[in-house]
Structure 1
Amino acid sequence: MITLYHAPQSRSSRMIWLLEELGVPYAIEPVSIFRPMTGEGVPDAANPHPDKRVPALLHNGVLVAESLAIVLHLAEHFPEAGLAPAIGDPDRGAYLTWLAWYVAEFEPALFAGMAGELPGSPQKRRAHEAVVRRLETALARGPYAMGERFSGADILIASALGFGRAAFPASEAFEAYLERCRARPAALRGAARDGASGPQQGA
């Protein structure tokens, strides 16, 4: 049994997309969270996440929290969906590299851009430019981060890019990538379930 602890229009929304890509049964348990960008919401005592944030997921009684951990866990538990190259697959190294790059490079660049920190920090500006260059270079080779192969890395990258699109410069490659990802049947189903999950509980 899979239960996703979810707050609408948050980081857990992309986990619904992930679960739809996997095609496995799951339940959504709505929880309230504090949203620092708006100052709204309150932590939910029923949320098993150690910091009362989302996403958090229970899979057969095992708690997994944070987007990267959930992508790794579920994609490898359900290999038939093809979202993660198996150990020994030549694509495995690239997949793990993209996951690590997302956390270590992409997210810091996104939030630096959203916070307007780039003009005053040459170091952050160079890191931001490197992120843009790396993703555009990858997308020039194929429709997804790993070329022809859609993976769990794309769920993380595309969801965050769509959320923080204004943090990055105009790019035909980025727009086409977002359109491809959002048009996936599982992404459309996930967006519908997120939209139907109602307003934040306890807000």
Structure 2
Amino acid sequence: MITFYHSPQSRSSRILSLLEELGNPPEIVLVEVEIPRVMKGTGRRDPGNPHPEGKVPYLEHDGVGIWETSAIALYLTGLFPQSGLGVAQGDPMRGRFLSWMFWYSGVVEPVVIAHLCDLSHPALHASLRGMPEVEARLEAALAEGPWLMGDRFTTCDLMVHSPYVWAPHLTPESPAIRDWVERCRMRPAAVRARERDAAAMARLAA
């Protein structure tokens, strides 16, 4: 049994979008939980959420917990290879696929958070780089194809474009990046996920 613990309009919304891309496999059960929403001062830690810090997303497969969004995204992509969202082990492009996924979690998210918090330090920049470097990497990749892996949408695109949907003002003026973000954002699976989240938030507010 696979259980996905989700809170609407949160970081786990990316995994909800991924489930839509996968065709909502019937063996995955979605459980909505509350989370503390620190910036809004709302929400709470849900006792029904097994995440060790009360966060989302959290995935449980036959009693084994998986946490961290990128890890869950990679796990599900590998579990459902027929989706074509990943790159199989042994394929020479697998290394590029993994590099984009780990670059997102190891560089992009920390850089975005530091930027939004107006944090600046030479050690941070030397270790993680900054928003201009992130944008340059994206422009270079998109000059080679419409998607980060070339001619097809993958989980890399789903993950890496997500900060620009969460914080649209961060999207640079680059036409290539803006077009890519919009194409990712308007995929039918992404639209359905946003609609599901909006409905869930409406229920919570009722």
Q: Does 1:47 align with 2:49?
A: yes
| TM-score, L = length of structure 2 | 0.88
Q: Secondary structure at the match of 1:11?
A: coil
Q: Secondary structure at the match of 2:70?
A: helix
Q: Hey, what's the Cα distance between the residues in 2 that align with 1:170 and 1:55? A: 31
The residue type equivalent to 2:34 in the other structure is: S
- C-alpha deviations, 1:145-188, integer Å up to 9, x for none? 11212111111112222112323532222221111112212112
| TM-score, L = length of structure 1 | 0.89
Work out the number of aligned pairs and report it.
200
Q: CA deviation at 1:56?
A: 0.8
**Which 10-residue stretch deviates more, 145-154 or 15-24?**
145-154
Q: CA deviation at 1:40?
A: 2.1
Correspondence for 2:101: 99
Question: Structure 2 stretches of 5 or more lacking a match?
Answer: none
Structure with more relative contact order (C-alpha pairs < 8 Å, separation 6 or more)? 1
Question: Structure 1 stretches of 5 or more lacking a match?
Answer: none
Q: Percent identity of the aligned residues? A: 45
Quick check: 2:7–2:13 contact (8 Å CA) kept in 1?
A: yes
Correspondence for 1:75: 77
CA RMSD of aligned residues (A): 2.1
**Which 10-residue stretch deviates more, 91-100 or 193-202?**
193-202
Q: Hey, what's the Cα distance between the residues in 2 that align with 1:49 and 1:124? A: 29
Correspondence for 2:155: 152
The residue type equivalent to 2:166 in the other structure is: F
Q: CA deviation at 1:62?
A: 2.9
Quick check: 1:41–1:200 contact (8 Å CA) kept in 2?
A: no
Quick check: 2:84–2:154 contact (8 Å CA) kept in 1?
A: yes
Q: Secondary structure at the match of 2:49?
A: coil
